[in-house]
Structure 1
């Protein structure tokens, strides 16, 4: 079934066509009809399956055809998300899909001045995508009215529980109308998630996509056994070998992120850093640079492991293996999205081998080992130490020129 066959507003079909979306993904195919009927939905879907559009498309349709007047400070659809980055991203998806509709959309999150947000709320909004902190602040100040919410959407619900937002969720629900539609989206399901879900949904339609395969089949996994102090040399080598590829590198802490970036800068590799210690404007600027491809190497913590859609990431590098096995799945989900292929490369030191075993147990399979001989290992380290930084580009240019000359000779033959 194609999107043009769905009974949704022509304005939404037009925006889908603009973006080249012709057929729904599995989660979209299963969720959209139920949401349009007004059913509560409990959806378990791995990252990269298109779940944002699965709820954005029907919500935009219902609000567009409804076209009711907005009440001061009131919200018709509330989307609760765990992080600022996710709030910004989902807002953009709603705006892109709803650009030809009458639906008013707003992202609400901390890290920025609240005056502009208060002004925007005064006339009411149709869809509010919000993080709990700022939402509670503005509701307590009397700027946000939740008594008119028709649809509540909890996205990345498992991550919200991990961050300790369960009390906030339950508190918010007390301020919402009982007669509402609730959509509950999560990448994983366990007893705690079930308890929360079934306490807020009514006879939901349950949808589960690829429950036995937590990671996209488009991702190729490999691991290299590299000692902690040597990882920077192998990262440099990877970047040198694939200079045109977008590489997203995950480390364990903010300090590590800054140190790895500094190590790359010392050898002439341009890198940008992203972590929770950055100011919101800096975080937005970094994400924009990486999305556009202005800088090909982004070093980050797990702040970017969940839900964030960064186009055309060819490599995800686990510079440090994650302590939480589920975070491996969320990290590598940043590549191999949609129909694209992706590579997930992990650097595993001796002390991290128990983490690798836990990840393999979670995946239900072994991760392919990249065999590195002693000579190759030492050569990688010497390669970085022996070549002056200012000669890198010269070497690359010489290599490219040699390749061109070789091609010319072949053509002449």
Structure 2
């Protein structure tokens, strides 16, 4: 089945054609028809399967049709997202697909000035893609009306629960109409998520796209064993050997992100970092620079592993293995998106082997090992620009010491005379 065969607005079909969306993915094929019929959905699908378009396409059609028969103001759909970056990305998908419709979408998130958001809300918005804090803040100030919000989407619900948004989600329900359509999407399913999901949806259509291997077939991934202090040399080499490719490097903490960036600066490699210590303006600037290709290497914590669709990421490197097994899937899922191919490498130090075992248990198979023989290992260390710069420093130091020694000898000889 092709998108042109769906009973959706011609304006949406026009946008899908422009975006080269020809055939639906599995989650889109199974989710779009029941959403168009007004059914509640509980959707479980791995990253990179096209979940956003699976709900954006039918929601845009439903709201576009409703706007033809009513002039009621107020938000008609709320999409809840766990992070600023994901909210921005989802809103962008809505705006691209809904470009030719009368539906207006905006992203709503904290860490930035409220006034521009208030101004846009006052002009009238149909769909809000929001993180919880700013949504509740502006609603309490009277800038958001939710009485007409008969569509609710919870995206990356498992990540929202991990971030402690359970009560925020429950609070939101109190502001929405009791008669509504709820779409619940998550990459994983467990008892806590089931409890939340079934408290929100009514007789849902359950859609689960979960192959035995949660890793996309488009991704080739491997692990190599390195000493912790040697990782920077191999990252340097990986960047040099893939200098024309966009690369995403994952570390466990924001402190590590800055340290790895500093290590790359010492060998004259430009990188960017993104983590929770950066304000929204910085994060947006970093994402734009990376997406546009101004900078080819982004060092990130797991804030960027969930749901973020960054175009043309060809290589993912787990500089640190994640301590949460499912984050491995989300991290390497940043490459090999859609029909593209991707490569992922993981650096595993001796004290990270327990993380590797947990990951392999989670994905159901061992990860292929990339074996580095001793000569290649030593060559990587020896050829590092950091080692070269250290050598040059040592040479300069020795030259300076010789010069100072000569000066002291001259002074001594003068004194004797």
Unaligned runs of 5+ in 2: 393-417
Instruction: Tell me what 2:343 maps to.
Output: 343
Matches within 5 A, 1:205-244: 205-244=205-244
Instruction: Tell me what 2:395 maps to.
Output: none
Cα distance in 2 for residues equivalent to 1:230 and 1:255: 18
Instruction: Tell me what 2:177 maps to.
Output: 177
> Are the counterparts in 2 of residues 71 and 123 from structure 1 also a CA contact under 8 Å?
no
Matches within 5 A, 1:313-392: 313-384=313-384, 385-388=386-389
Unaligned runs of 5+ in 1: 392-413
SS of the aligned residue for 1:294 comes to coil
SS of the aligned residue for 2:169 comes to helix
Cα distance in 2 for residues equivalent to 1:354 and 1:255: 22
Instruction: Tell me what 1:165 maps to.
Output: 165
SS of the aligned residue for 1:262 comes to helix
Cα distance in 2 for residues equivalent to 1:382 and 1:388: 11
The alignment status of 1:101 with 2:121, answered yes or no, reads: no
Instruction: Tell me what 2:252 maps to.
Output: 252
Cα distance in 2 for residues equivalent to 1:123 and 1:69: 17
- TM-score w.r.t. length of structure 2: 0.91
Cα distance in 2 for residues equivalent to 1:106 and 1:222: 39
Deviation, 1:374, is 1.7
Flag the 1:223–1:70 CA change in 2: closer, same or farther, 3 A. Answer: farther
Deviation, 1:124, is 3.2
Cα distance in 1 for residues equivalent to 2:100 and 2:389: 54
SS of the aligned residue for 1:152 comes to strand
Cα distance in 1 for residues equivalent to 2:22 and 2:283: 33
Cα distance in 2 for residues equivalent to 1:272 and 1:371: 29
Instruction: Tell me what 1:394 maps to.
Output: none
- TM-score w.r.t. length of structure 1: 0.92
Deviation, 1:122, is 2.1
Instruction: Tell me what 1:263 maps to.
Output: 263
SS of the aligned residue for 1:345 comes to strand
Flag the 1:70–1:79 CA change in 2: closer, same or farther, 3 A. Answer: farther
Give the superposed CA RMSD.
1.4
Cα distance in 2 for residues equivalent to 1:231 and 1:197: 42
Instruction: Tell me what 1:410 maps to.
Output: none
Deviations 1:170-216 (A, max 9, x none): 01101111110000000000111111000000000000012422221
Cα distance in 2 for residues equivalent to 1:166 and 1:149: 20
Q: Which has the larger radius of gyration?
A: 2
Greater CA deviation, 164-173 or 133-142? 133-142
Greater CA deviation, 121-130 or 88-97? 121-130
Instruction: Tell me what 2:146 maps to.
Output: 146
Q: Number of aligned pairs?
A: 389
Deviations 1:80-117 (A, max 9, x none): 00000000000100000000000011110001111111
SS of the aligned residue for 1:214 comes to coil
Which segments of structure 1 move beyond 4 Å, counting only runs of 4 or more? 68-72
SS of the aligned residue for 2:20 comes to coil
Deviation, 1:257, is 0.5
